Structure 1
Amino acid sequence: MASAQDIQNLLRFLSQDAKVPLAQAMGKIKELQAANLITPDQIAKSGMGAIKNVFEDDKITKQILNAAKRVSKKRGSTDAGAPAPSPKKIKSSYGQPLSPAQFEESLVLPDLCLDEEELSNAAVFTNRAPLVLAFAVIVLKYTMPEQPLSSRLSLAQAVVSANSRTKAVNLGLESGKSAEEEGWGEGQPLVKVMGREIRVMKRWGYDWEAKEEEGATQETIKDEPNDIDNKEPALWGVDLEALKKSNGPVTVGSRNVSTSQLPIYTAQSARTYLLKAFETPKSEGGSQKSPTKKKPASIVAEKERNLGLLLGALDLLFKSWSSVLSKDDLDKRAWSWYTRVRPEVASGVEGWGGKGNVKLRDILDLRRPTT
């Protein structure tokens, strides 16, 4: 069995070398242990098949395998006395060759199921991090309705990552001060989501509601204030840990200073995480409800359907309170509601990344009483 130090080293490899979001890496620890994929050497020798069985995504699988080979080769060279290669700087990923409207459309989540009878009889099988992500995405719909979906996904992922790091520190899997505690990103605005303050970057000039203009793409959006429209600008959640690792600028707060160097939590990665995180619960006997082996396309559709069910239940919950609670109070309650319905897992390191059932009836029961 892997020790706490082994798990800490594995998380460090996944999050720093393979660039896997910490929350996602945490959720895969148990599966990696079961597959005996604990060290970069073991991962490098396993091949893509074994890694893909755990992470499912081709892009992330390649990232992990390439990082494992690179780390193993680096260690081999270092052992032989050869100088280690200089680390590459983290490159931030901002826009797409799409107009703002097209970009937002590409991020659309599955249709929300609002059928109370269906929701009352449904459940999802998941671990805690993506459930936090789902809660944050929906509560932001009501506390920051002016924000586009891309911003809500980015801000929600920032909350998940910050929460995951705090949990890792409490379990002894991470040590030292966080990037926020060391002052990285100081000067960037702060917003509060589910009771946690996160650093953000204002996306000046990003007009996602405007009709598509000829030649307008994500890449042509300028980091400038839009004086014509005084509404609140869209936001990105800033990845302070990535900023710290890249030795980027510690303070970037002025409108007159370009923020293009700041790494962000991308909306695309948060959306992908949500789409793959919610399985159908197993039957009491331990077998899947379907007796036949499901095809990959069927599994993808099933997970998307489960996400639509979960988001629908959460939407009904927050909507029921939105007319009587202030935005601040609604945000404060979101975390306590999450803790009441999150899956039960083993305590300590044993429960790291553990999964369990979430009954959507429990979410509906948290709604404001109507009588």
Structure 2
Amino acid sequence: MAAQVQDLLRFLSQDAKIPLALAMGKTLELQKANLTNPEYIAKGKIEVLQTIFNDPKVAKQVLNAAKRVTKKRGSPTDATTTSPQKRRKGPNITGDSTPYEIESALSLPVSSASEDDLSNTILVTNRAPLVLAFALCVLKYTMPEQPISSRLSLAQAVVSVNSRSKAVSLGIESGKSAEEEGWGEGHPVVRVLGREIRVLKRWDYNPREGEPASSAATGRSADTASAANNEDNQRETPEDAHRMPPLWGVDLEAMRNSHHSVPGKEPKDHSVLPIYTAQSARSYLLRSLSKPEEHPPEPVKPKPATVVQNEKKECVGHLLRAIDLVCQSWASTLDHRELDRRAWAWYLRVRPDVQSGVHGWGEKGQVKLSGILSLRRDP
């Protein structure tokens, strides 16, 4: 069974090109649907994959990869194969978008729920999205100058590094990481949730460029342009003098892979530095949380896709608000380094209670927001 899971993960991450963290969270669901290898996936229905991945484009990407792999192996199938779909961009982002418009499009759901309502809220997710949420929230206080695009990129980098460490411990991956092989040499380092992340400085990027005058005049800003509006909630420290420009998290594993030649394929463009994109991190978070399933005595009609999407957005808003309340309560008494260190300890205390072993890291479990809120500093 463990070997089957490892083979499935290799197919998803290497052939289907989906993030390892997402692959980890979907192996159990694929096994339950008897989609345990590329051959079975290639012969399966796209609707089943769409239900599992909650994203039609990702489902099609996995199906196409399965067909391509089975065709190479000589598996009898008359289905045609196409190239995997490119990762979709975030909402309302085009090549002509200004930095302000890009940051606005990347904004995350905001919850208006009372603390009592939050305390009674239970969410369902696996561990990787919760790591992403904690990283996003703590970065608002440890690196308040970073816009939402940078926070999403850095948070996704933390998830990727953490997921690879877990994969190595389970025997799914082996050998040295790209970092250990020296691929990150020369790139600056920042620490997020205790993890060292290699970054690319975006010197020419001003997140407020293109901001309407009316918006600037009213002083309205949230995640739409810059996290600098959080400065009022934090005390100034000597660390503030060393703030960095907007950053991208550098994908060292992708950098290493891009330099490895693949027979029959054109060499990749080595001039483009691979980064963790904000759009993919945002999309991952928005599709990874849900409410606990209800089990009515009689079958009911499935919810429309729009209703499900709105519920997921609501869940994300509730989770981010709960974590933010915790970070906010400690920000005035802890320096940035200590706040970052404690945030990882907070995550460990409230992470989903799932089984350990091969399935434990990817299986979904419940997260009680009351447990997160209990971490707040006493007045």
TM-score between the two structures when normalised by the length of structure 2: 0.81
Shift of 1:70: 1.5
In structure 2, the partner of 1:216 is none
Aligned 8 A contact 1:114 1:316 in 2: no
Give the alignment partner of residue 22 of structure 2, picking from 18, 21, 24: 24
1:298 aligns with 2:307: yes
1:239 aligns with 2:248: no
Aligned 8 A contact 2:193 2:344 in 1: yes
Shift of 1:287: 5.0
SS, match of residue 109 in structure 1? coil
Shift of 1:244: 1.2
Give the alignment partner of residue 274 of structure 1, picking from 263, 273, 285: 285
Instruction: State the alpha-carbon separation in 1 of the partners of residues 154 and 335 from structure 2.
Output: 20
Q: 1:189 to 1:287 in 2, by over 3 A?
A: farther
In structure 1, the partner of 2:359 is 350
Shift of 1:291: 5.9
What is the identity, as a one-letter code, of the residue corresponding to 2:287? K
Work out the percentage of aligned pairs sharing the same amino acid: 58
In structure 2, the partner of 1:125 is 124
1:37 aligns with 2:35: yes
Instruction: State the alpha-carbon separation in 1 of the partners of residues 73 and 329 from structure 2.
Output: 56
Equivalent residues in 2 for 1:213-362, closer than 5 Å: 232-247=244-259, 261-282=272-293, 286=295, 293-362=302-371
Shift of 1:173: 1.7
Structure 1, unaligned runs of 5 or more: 78-86, 214-229, 249-257
Question: How many pairs does the alignment contain?
Answer: 331
SS, match of residue 277 in structure 1? coil
Equivalent residues in 2 for 1:124-163, closer than 5 Å: 124-163=123-162
In structure 2, the partner of 1:220 is none
Deviations 1:93-115 (A, max 9, x none): 99841111111111111113362
Shift of 1:179: 1.1
Aligned 8 A contact 1:204 1:233 in 2: yes
The CA RMSD measured in Å over matched residues stands at 2.7
Structure 2, unaligned runs of 5 or more: 76-82, 213-241, 261-268
Instruction: State the alpha-carbon separation in 2 of the partners of residues 319 and 35 from structure 1.
Output: 42
Shift of 1:68: 1.3
SS, match of residue 102 in structure 1? helix
Superposition misfits of 4+ residues, deviation over 3 angstroms:
93-96, 290-293
Aligned 8 A contact 1:29 1:352 in 2: no
SS, match of residue 358 in structure 2? helix
Instruction: State the alpha-carbon separation in 1 of the partners of residues 154 and 10 from structure 2.
Output: 23
In structure 1, the partner of 2:200 is 201
1:104 aligns with 2:103: yes
In structure 2, the partner of 1:175 is 174
Shift of 1:171: 1.4
Instruction: State the alpha-carbon separation in 1 of the partners of residues 158 and 132 from structure 2.
Output: 8
Deviations 1:272-316 (A, max 9, x none): 111111111235xx559x965322111111111111111110110
1:52 aligns with 2:50: yes
SS, match of residue 200 in structure 2? strand
SS, match of residue 107 in structure 2? coil
